[in-house]
Structure 1
Amino acid sequence: MKAIRNIQYGAMVFFGLLLGTSCSGLLDEPLENQQIAEGTDYTQTQNMVLMLYGAYNQLYDFGWEIYPSISVRGDDIDIGGRGDQPLFALADSFRYDRNFWAMNSAWTGLYGDLIYWQGAIEEIQKYQEAGANGTTAQQYIAEIKVLQGFEMLQLARMWGRILIPQSSEPSALLDVELSSFEEVMQYVSARMDEAIPLLPDMRPNQRSDVRGGVTRYTALAVKAIANLELKNYPAVAEATGQIISSGLFSLEPDFYHLFKLRGKLNNENLLELQYSDYGTATGTSNKYLWDFFGPTSWTPTRDGASGGWGFWEPSMKYIQFMLDRGERERLETTVIFTPDGITDVRNAYPNAPSWISNATPDGDVFNNSVRTKFYSGKHYLPSAMLTEGRTAYGENKNFTCIRYAEVLLMHAEALTSGATSSVMTADAAVNAVRNRVGLGPLSGVTLDQVLDEKFAEFAGEWGIRFYDVVRHDQTAELSYGGRTYDATTSRFYPYPLEQQDVLPQLREGN
């Protein structure tokens, strides 16, 4: 966030060099970095908190190209953006190109964060050695470990074998061996175990020092995700069971508004990227670049509201899946239709319901586009909700990363995969999510029903669908619409060519 970025971080400034800079350039500057770090007066212990603010700022500066790289490969999403970024379209079809700039940018962006955060940990340790409160210092370090764990998950899910940074010196990566996908997940789980007892015992939105900041339940959720990838289902049930039994979290009653302003710092959220225009018509506005998801042509209810690039298209496969289930609330929230999209739906599904429209519940009208026939409703903020005087697409909207519905359905997935729990049954967990959107209860829930519920609930969110079907060997679902998934070549991205030129470990890694 710009307001935080303007704070003078002293020793932390050099870590910002990672952003927008090639790894090869950084490797030439370690001595300069060290000299800057030596200029900090660590006896000014009141400045230690700036390291934490900087760490959260780094998370909120999440590059727009990282999310689609994480999320595009499932059968819930098609890339959209027809006629532009052909290498992105190839990635959506499991035909990867090492030269694709967005993959390289995702790699450098995530590693920039990990190394920055490692530097923040080292700086906090120096403040503690100089007399800062030890309990506070260890909490700050634990919070940063959770941020590292969340992004390390994303790196390993994309590339499989990755490098785990142990130093804030970028050049130290040259001496790090590749860790396997399983080793990374074990490492993340262990780091969460280190962090959990040191973190606040509350919801993120209950924190008064850093509103929306990490708590022990965020760490438990990250631990659960890591163990889900390891198929360590008892550990998943145990971690999610702790979150559920806390009684602190609840599902937002209105699924549609969960992804609008009401979703900011919601009781359902365990981790979110926070943004704000501070309620003012002009001046500082810290925002995610939602333009990627926005319409190339629309008629907003708010005059002057900007559109976007039309790159993120919910799939027809998902739409038909939801229509077959008789769902409205989650479909209407997840998918925004254009007139051409409606025509395609009615041609493929003659009994499509009459409520399907190119006008959203808030009155914005989405017009035809050469780039896409459907838009993402989860990444849309109604123009009427923009602060007066603000015009950027989605401005003032937060980006949710982990929510309680995912915790419930991970719990159900673990139980239907062989784990046990005295906290909640799989039926109860699934039915809590279904009840929110007016669906009837299920009895004797199976794994396939859990995965279907996750498909319906999380379409377009953080690649959850792709990782689910891969984990449970249901990848036939990914071969559709001309795509062919090959388990030997499609699971992980190849390392970016630019990174292979810098890091010799990657040349034989995949």
Structure 2
Amino acid sequence: MKTQSFLIKIMLLALPIFFMDCSEQLNEEQELVVQQGDIDYTSAESAFGALVGSYRAFQSMGWEQIPLLAVRGDDVNSGGLGDQQGFADTDNFIYDNNYWMYNSLWNNWFQDVLQITVQIDQLKEFKANGVSVDLIDQYIAESKALRGFITLQLSRAFGDVYKIDTPDQTQIEVLPKDELMQWVSDQMDEAIPHLLDAHPVDRNDLPGGITRYTALAVKAMANLELENYQGVADATGQIINSNKFQLFNDFYNLFKIPGKLNRENILEIQYSDFGQSSGDNVGHLYAFYGSQNWTPAVAGARSGWGFYEPSLKFIKFMLDRNESIRLETSVLFTNRGIAELEAAGYTNLPSFVSNTTRDGDRINDYSRAMFASGKHYLPSVQLTPGRTNYGTNKNFTVIRYAEVLLMYAEALTRGATGNAGSADDAVNEVRNRAGLTPISGATSEDVLDEKFAEFSMEWGIRYADMVRLGKTDELSYDGRSFTMEKAFLPYPLAQLEQSFILREYVNNNN
């Protein structure tokens, strides 16, 4: 576990010195005021601390951010009862711009973007004071990749959002989504030549840190949003042809402790309890995703809150495909959920459709949902002895090689040319890991189905695909009615009240 916790440890130890104050909000007609502190700009060690400041900003993800990105997809439902009515309404495309989650998603991530931009500005000072040009250019490129990924996700959620490439607030502007995606792609082009040509886990200084393949993946994602499929094929083809990545051979454990820093993961947010029963614990609050009522194999392990549910539509889709390992991994079943499937005609369910997981945790019935997300589940037997919080010590997977393969495959089925094999090759590599028979003559719909099966509950990938392609019929399920006017969340009321930049943009574009 030494390499897996290395980044976490330096974040804990180094950041009080190098993480700059970013308390000024994006709402004042003045330049950002940054407390620089006492920094030796001639020191490569201090420059490394500035880089770690960018990673800390990225890794400070709140528990509410990813569920809000994902809940509108037809793979995910909100837990029906509880104190988050706005989250349930969002799942049904009923938006309230005063709902706190919208403001939190916007404010927290744009503060992270601004903080990373401050770190980039700071890194330039080290170069001006004689620290290795190549080293500083690499650190700046890593920061740009992190900033680009967050900006992409925010634009997927809200559409036209801030482009921030300076800490000077008077120079920040709101851009249309397509222009932002092109900016992200261009930023990755600037970053790629300066990044390490390595798998992230092979970095000695920051195991799991950004390399050129992370930036290529972000570039591919931006070009997918632009429907520039040749750009997608070119970027993903470079990743495939590097031969540095491979699918993890155990899909079930891919999202658990054995899957930390594996050779499939291109980017992940690292957490650790350092193998200790008490003391420092850098973790994510996974309870939001977990079942509200369970009998864990390890007594005392805490349950979740029950707010995040795999949809019945997704589960039926997987059963109809005879999926096994991906369905078992993605869904935790209650007896009430199993009864619902049987009532829908699925009377010959496979043996893994059980309210007891292979690791012995029993998922009891609870009121909010019939199913829970298996990808956000950590078996109680994998908890460090003495730790009891749901999912603690589990990393958060961000970008996987499987996504690269299927982006490449889709690009080819939509007319792009590639030099990293055929669409069939890419799709069948993913299907083979899932225990499915190979297909021939893969179509765009085949790829979308494969992505549905592979990436359920992850980062709103399904929702982004359906919006990109205008598939309103897929998102109009189980009584929901989706139109493209509902594609983006409304700007948070708190931001409209506070930000002259955003108000001016809205007024000029009404």
TM range (shorter): over 0.9
Q: C-alpha distance in 2, partners of 1:469/1:352?
A: 31
Indicate the residue corresponding to 2:188 in structure 1.
Answer: 192
Equivalent position SS for 1:272: strand
Q: Are residue 7 (structure 1) and residue 14 (structure 2) matched?
A: yes
Alpha-carbon contact 2:11-2:52 (below 8 Å) kept? yes
Q: C-alpha distance in 2, partners of 1:246/1:354?
A: 39
- Quote how far apart the aligned CAs of 1:255 are: 0.8
Amino acid at match of 2:369: T
Within the candidate set 446, 452, 457, 1:449 is matched to 446
Indicate the residue corresponding to 1:287 in structure 2.
Answer: 283
Q: Deviations over 1:450-483 (max 9, x none)?
A: 1000000000011111111222222210001121
Q: C-alpha distance in 2, partners of 1:494/1:161?
A: 10
Alpha-carbon contact 2:145-2:188 (below 8 Å) kept? yes
Indicate the residue corresponding to 2:215 in structure 1.
Answer: 219
Alpha-carbon contact 2:257-2:382 (below 8 Å) kept? yes
- Quote how far apart the aligned CAs of 1:39 are: 4.4
Distance 1:270 1:151, change over 3 A: same
Alpha-carbon contact 1:302-1:384 (below 8 Å) kept? yes
Q: C-alpha distance in 1, partners of 2:48/2:156?
A: 31
Distance 1:111 1:305, change over 3 A: same
**36-45 or 320-329, which moves further after superposition?**
36-45
- Quote how far apart the aligned CAs of 1:9 are: 4.9
Indicate the residue corresponding to 1:482 in structure 2.
Answer: 479
**73-82 or 100-109, which moves further after superposition?**
73-82
Q: Deviations over 1:45-101 (max 9, x none)?
A: 421100111211222211111111111111000011523211111111111110010
Alpha-carbon contact 2:74-2:463 (below 8 Å) kept? yes
Indicate the residue corresponding to 2:104 in structure 1.
Answer: 105
Equivalent position SS for 2:397: strand
Q: C-alpha distance in 2, partners of 1:265/1:155?
A: 25
Pairing of 1:4-403 with structure 2 (within 5 A): 4-7=11-14, 9-10=16-17, 12-15=19-22, 17=23, 23-24=26-27, 27=28, 33-34=33-34, 36-37=35-36, 39-169=38-168, 172=169, 175-355=171-351, 356-403=353-400
Alpha-carbon contact 2:20-2:118 (below 8 Å) kept? no
Equivalent position SS for 2:267: strand
Equivalent position SS for 2:53: helix
Amino acid at match of 1:374: F
Equivalent position SS for 1:13: coil
Q: C-alpha distance in 1, partners of 2:208/2:414?
A: 32
Indicate the residue corresponding to 1:430 in structure 2.
Answer: 427
How many residues were matched structurally? 498
Q: C-alpha distance in 2, partners of 1:77/1:276?
A: 27
- Quote how far apart the aligned CAs of 1:422 are: 2.3
Alpha-carbon contact 2:398-2:459 (below 8 Å) kept? yes
Q: Deviations over 1:173-224 (max 9, x none)?
A: x553321110000000000001111111111111110010000000000000
Q: C-alpha distance in 2, partners of 1:164/1:354?
A: 49
- Quote how far apart the aligned CAs of 1:253 are: 1.1
Amino acid at match of 1:406: E
Alpha-carbon contact 2:161-2:174 (below 8 Å) kept? yes
Alpha-carbon contact 1:272-1:402 (below 8 Å) kept? yes
Q: C-alpha distance in 2, partners of 1:112/1:141?
A: 18
Amino acid at match of 1:130: N
Equivalent position SS for 1:412: helix
Amino acid at match of 2:76: I
Q: C-alpha distance in 2, partners of 1:393/1:23?
A: 34
TM-score, structure 1 as length reference: 0.94
Within the candidate set 417, 421, 434, 1:420 is matched to 417
Q: C-alpha distance in 1, partners of 2:397/2:50?
A: 23
Q: C-alpha distance in 2, partners of 1:329/1:103?
A: 34
Distance 1:281 1:11, change over 3 A: closer
Alpha-carbon contact 1:5-1:54 (below 8 Å) kept? no
Q: C-alpha distance in 2, partners of 1:144/1:267?
A: 22
Equivalent position SS for 2:399: strand
CA RMSD of aligned residues (A): 1.7
Distance 1:301 1:135, change over 3 A: same
Identical-pair percentage: 49
Distance 1:428 1:44, change over 3 A: closer
Q: C-alpha distance in 2, partners of 1:198/1:282?
A: 40
Alpha-carbon contact 1:476-1:485 (below 8 Å) kept? yes
Alpha-carbon contact 1:2-1:284 (below 8 Å) kept? no
TM-score, structure 2 as length reference: 0.94
Distance 1:272 1:485, change over 3 A: same
Equivalent position SS for 2:280: coil
Amino acid at match of 2:441: G
Indicate the residue corresponding to 1:468 in structure 2.
Answer: 465
Q: C-alpha distance in 1, partners of 2:436/2:42?
A: 58
Distance 1:233 1:61, change over 3 A: same
Equivalent position SS for 1:37: coil
Pairing of 1:402-413 with structure 2 (within 5 A): 402-413=399-410
Distance 1:245 1:354, change over 3 A: closer
Q: C-alpha distance in 2, partners of 1:417/1:312?
A: 33
Q: C-alpha distance in 1, partners of 2:37/2:324?
A: 59
Alpha-carbon contact 2:208-2:268 (below 8 Å) kept? yes
